[in-house]
């Protein structure tokens, strides 16, 4: 019954509660079933480095570490290496590993270190292949999870594990903006709109593929109002990816990455799910601080 900070200080005792014990059993099985789906579909699990020589996406959000007589960074995501695996001919891979983000944000869904369930695969025709695989994987895992833990979760958390039906509802970002305006009279400021306007297009990563009209070939998956995944088809054509990097002013830092595409790379795409957010939303836990084994945030590095 004490406040959350005290509970986190004494997490080793806090974890003894029935709810917390069940939460980690459920999380473990959720990951087990997602893995199982991928293994059944000929994916292999890989392990990419978390110590990297250059900041991968935007320099501002990376943790810098001393690396002998120079600097290294903690990986914000395995993005570049997942794609390297595609260029290497591995075709279907996944990784479950930590990501580090030096974001000073104190929300209920952000941590500075979190576990990401990352998937990447080759020979896709569009980002829709990526969406479909993710939807199937989640539906498979939730079905199994409900069989194993449905009753226990109902008893302990008072809620149902809901297995979504396929296909998942899809909405274009332009339609979301339109509906917000029509139904709620809310106009999204131009500067906040991603994808649609040129000045906001900068906000998206340079490695996403765009179609002939310049539209990004990607998606976010929203669960109970919270983003749990972003996924996309990636740009695999060497000339195009070089152009994109250049237009964002990216130089030396991404040179090694651009090289991956120089000798040919199949069309590919993938996605990343935040495991801690997934657990939080599944069990209706108020904050990621409680769904992580040990929360890491701007003001918390201990225990």
**List of residues contacting ligand ATP (CB under 6 A):** 101, 103, 110-111, 114, 116, 227-230, 272-274, 276-277, 288
**Structure tokens given for 48:** 């990419």
Give whichever of 150 and 164 is closer to ligand ATP, judged by the CB atom: 164
The minimum distance between CB 236 and ligand ATP, in angstroms, equals 19
259 tagged catalytic:
no
Residue from 109, 204, 210, 300 carrying the catalytic annotation: 109
Is residue 84 a contact partner of residue 37, using CB atoms and an 8 Å limit?
no
**Given 56, 57, 95, 110, which residue is catalytic?**
110
Task: Give the nearer residue to ligand ATP in terms of CB position, either 34 or 273.
Answer: 273
d(CA 295, CA 111) in angstroms, rounded, equals: 7
At closest approach, how far in Å is the CB of 208 from ligand ATP? 11
Active-site residue (options: 227, 243, 247, 259): 227
> In the 3-class helix/strand/coil scheme, how is 128-185 assigned residue by residue?
HHHHHHHHHHHHHHHHHHHHHHHHHHHHHHCCCCCCCCCCCCCCCHHHHHHHHHHHHC
Distances (CA, A) of 289 to 20, 215, 297: 12, 36, 8
Three-state DSSP state, 74: strand
Give the residue among 257, 222, 265, 251 at the shortest CA–CA distance from 75.
257
103 tagged catalytic: yes
**Minimum CB distance to ligand ATP smaller for 10 or for 293:** 293
Q: Which of these is catalytic: 230, 235, 236, 291?
A: 230
Is residue 236 part of the annotated active site? The answer reads no
The distance of closest approach from Cβ of residue 58 to ligand ATP in the complex, given in angstroms and rounded to an integer, is 10
State the burial class of residue 152 (Cβ atoms within 10 Å of its Cβ: 0-12, 13-18, 19+).
Answer: middle
Query: Which residue in the shown chain puts its C-beta closest to ligand ATP?
Result: 274
Closest CB 178 distance from ligand ATP, rounded Å: 22
Cα–Cα separations (whole angstroms), residue 10 to 16, 295, 299? 11, 12, 16
By beta-carbon proximity to ligand ATP, the closer residue of 35 and 152 is: 35
- Alpha carbons 56 and 139: distance in angstroms, whole number: 32
Q: Tell the smallest beta-carbon distance from residue 239 to ligand ATP (Å).
A: 26
* Pairing label, strands 44-45, 92-100: parallel
- Pick the catalytic residue from 95, 116, 277, 290: 277
Nearer to ligand ATP, 86 or 134 (CB): 134
Q: Which positions are catalytic?
A: 101, 103, 109-110, 227, 230, 277
């Amino acid at each position: 019954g004490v406040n959350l900070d005290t509970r986190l200080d004494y997490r080793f005792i806090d974890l003894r509660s029935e709810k917390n014990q069940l939460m980690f059993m459920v999380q473990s099985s959720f990951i087990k079933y997602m893995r199982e789906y991928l293994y059944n579909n000929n994916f292999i699990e890989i392990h990419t480095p978390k110590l990297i020589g250059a900041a991968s996406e935007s320099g501002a959000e990376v943790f810098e570490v001393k690396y002998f007589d120079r600097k290294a960074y903690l990986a914000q995501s395995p993005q570049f290496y997942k794609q390297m695996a595609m260029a290497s001919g591995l075709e279907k891979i996944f990784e479950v590993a930590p990501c580090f983000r030096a974001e000073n944000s104190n929300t209920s869904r952000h941590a500075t270190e979190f576990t990401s369930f990352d998937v990447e695969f080759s020979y896709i025709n569009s980002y829709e292949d990526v969406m479909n695989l993710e939807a199937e994987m989640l539906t498979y895992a939730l079905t199994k999870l409900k069989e194993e833990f449905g009753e226990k979760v109902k008893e302990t958390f008072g809620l149902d594990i809901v297995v979504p039906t396929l296909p998942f509802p899809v909405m274009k970002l332009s339609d979301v903006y339109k509906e917000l305006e029509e139904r709620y009279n809310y106009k999204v400021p131009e500067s906040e709109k991603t994808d649609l306007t040129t000045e906001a297009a900068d906000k998206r990563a340079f490695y996403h593929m765009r179609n002939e009209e310049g539209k990004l070939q990607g998606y976010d998956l929203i669960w109970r109002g919270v983003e749990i995944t972003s996924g996309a088809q990636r740009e695999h054509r060497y000339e195009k990816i070089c152009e994109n990097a250049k237009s964002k002013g990216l130089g030396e830092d991404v040179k090694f990455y651009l090289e991956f595409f120089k000798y040919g790379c199949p069309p590919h795409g993938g996605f990343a799910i935040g495991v801690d957010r997934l657990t939080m939303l599944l069990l209706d836990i108020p904050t990621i601080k409680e769904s992580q084994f040990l929360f890491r945030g701007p003001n918390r590095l201990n225990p």
